[in-house]
Chains A and B, each alone.
Chain A
Amino acid sequence: QKEVEQDPGPLSVPEGAIVSLNCTYSNSAFQYFMWYRQYSRKGPELLMYTYSSGNKEDGRFTAQVDKSSKYISLFIRDSQPSDSATYLCAMSFYGQNFVFGPGTRLSVLP
């Protein structure tokens, strides 16, 4: 079993749709959970981070962490074509030992 699993997609949605991106993990020691957005041929950009379980909202983005299920999600509301990118989940403990998911490719169609 991989340490972090993520559906690679591609995921295609129409503009304005709500997008749900998910990751599961196996190591219960993870405490910090992050979502990155990576455009083609660019470095990943930190979108959101959360500590432990709970929700966090930032504009159109909402991150959820369910440590009991070892499951994290990123929701994008009112998706835009500019949201088309690869989304990577990442997690760590004590800010060390970052582990990345393989990424989900998202296409938002105008």
Chain B
Amino acid sequence: GAVVSQHPSWVICKSGTSVKIECRSLDFQATTMFWYRQFPKQSLMLMATSNEGSKATYEQGVEKDKFLINHASLTLSTLTVTSAHPEDSSFYICSAPRGTAGYEQYFGPGTRLTVT
């Protein structure tokens, strides 16, 4: 199957600092990537849709100035959590659809962010 990677797999940062998470599609090109957040024992919450060459689309309630998304190429999207606070601590997962219908959505392994 398709492979999507994320880096780093886990990160601890201090409150007020910024953290960048990378999402790469390793064996296919993705004009669209999705960013999700997942709290313990809860389902995936879509944060935003990353579009190559254009601005990201954010879900209602997600602060676009806090969660900066850049889709720099057809294989790379980045999520930067700016001025992180402890409540931003979560599991962040990206995904990329593949195929003409795009229903084959492949997920990265996730990044666990802890803000102290």
Where the two chains meet, the residues of A that have a C-beta atom closer than 8 Å to any C-beta of B are 32, 34, 36, 41-46, 49, 51, 88, 90, 92, 94-96, 98, 100-103, 105
Contacts and interface: CB of A to CB of B under 8 A. Distances in A.
Contacts of B95: 43-44
Contacts, number: 56
Given A41-B112, A102-B43, A95 B99 contact: yes
Interface string B24-67: 00000000001000000111101000000000000000000000
Interface size band for B: 20 to 34
Given A41-B110, A42-B110, A46-B1, A32 B101 contact: yes
Contacts of B102: 92, 94-96
Given A42-B109, A43-B93, A102-B43, 14 more contacts: A41-B112, A42-B110, A43-B107, A43-B109, A43-B110, A44-B93, A44-B95, A44-B107, A45-B107, A46-B107, A88-B43, A95-B100, A96-B102, A100-B43
Question: By DSSP majority rule, is chain A's interface helix, strand, loop, or mixed?
Answer: strand
Interface of B: 1, 4, 6, 34, 41-44, 46, 91, 93, 95, 97, 99-110, 112
A34 B98 CA distance: 14
Given A44-B107, A45-B107, A95 B91 contact: no
Contacts of A102: 42-43
Contact of A100 (B44, B104, B109): B44
